[in-house]
Amino acid sequence: MRDRLCRQPPRLRIFDQKPAGKINLWVRIVIRRLTAHNTQTILLRPTFPPTKTGAVGFSYQHYTDTRMRDVFLTKRIEFCASHRYHQPRWSEKQNQTAFGHAHNLYGHGHNYLLEVSVGGPVNPLTGMVLNMYDLKRILGVVLSEFDHKDLDKDTPYFTTTIATPENLALVLSERIASHLDGAYLERVRLFEDEDLYVDYPHNNGRSMNTVCLTRRYHFSAAHRLHTDRLSPEDNKKIFGKCNNPNGHGHNYTLEVTLHGQPHPDTGAIYDLSHLDQVVNDTIVKRFDHQHINYDPAFRETTTTGENLLVLMWDLLAKEIPAETLYKVGLIETRDNYFEYYGRTPTSSATPAP
């Protein structure tokens, strides 16, 4: 019936073969139509009396969720800045233990890459959500406070907090949102380097109050797509050249995404040194420069990116709290990417401050 509702004109009357007494007066069916990026809500209303066969006629109206009509655009821009991780309430030893070389007295710096996504309805006159020139100008104004600056000494935003990428993304989001007119901020993504970035998502311009941090790790491994449950011919047919008897290999990139709120003392949502240790000990050391088919976990399963990713989630979920581990992603080649949001894990681990 849903398919018919999508195809038929709004004035059509549809019959459902159910007794009238067992039908709710209002039935709500939400149909997502991917075409035209539109969501329609269909309201079915019984028309009484029922027919002789007991069927009840339905008339319906459809409403459009305009949120699905919004278009999103993203602008990238780079800036350079320095900072130092230092918690004045802590001793020198505590700071050094928590932050390592990021606590060096004279600071350090990064070439930051900022991605800003804004959304809104398309202006019927200009055909744009927001003039890209205007967005570029806004970002230029905002970043003039941060570009080629010491974030701790030259800006007023980090006098009581540490300029971690999590906190910096929050500040940038607030500054950018305050300049937008006619569009809303959908997401800010901030790269501190190629292997570390944070996302600060919004929902229709409203802050989600949660930061996602993604760390990338690299390892090289060989594998062969093959299962003993299929004949050699079927293996060759399904897996193609990936079924080569001697295997093949990849430079894998693992993405581990955590989410939460920055800790008031460290400005981080999780201890990165602990995350690095967990990933290196449980995944990188296990698979780097190895043939994955010979790993005990794959004695009865194929070494697909999907299976490998699920195993990695399970390994990490034993060490990282369930409320913190958000997603794992695996880049097998430039053309193949897998991601997994996991099952509900059982973990007694606690996040380090």
Catalytically active residues are 242, 289, 332
Rg from Cα positions in the chain: 27
The Cα 38–Cα 59 span in angstroms is 21
Nearest to 258, CA basis, from 128, 351, 125, 160: 351
Distances (CA, A) of 55 to 15, 263, 282, 347: 6, 61, 61, 53
User: Torsion angle, CA of 60/65/71/74, rounded to 10 degrees?
Assistant: -140
> Alpha helices, DSSP H only, in the chain?
2-7, 92-99, 132-143, 165-177, 232-239, 272-279, 285-287, 305-317
Contacting residues for 248 by C-beta, under 8 A, at least 6 apart: 222, 223, 224, 241, 242
* Residue 130 exposure: Cα atoms within 13 Å on the Cβ side: 27
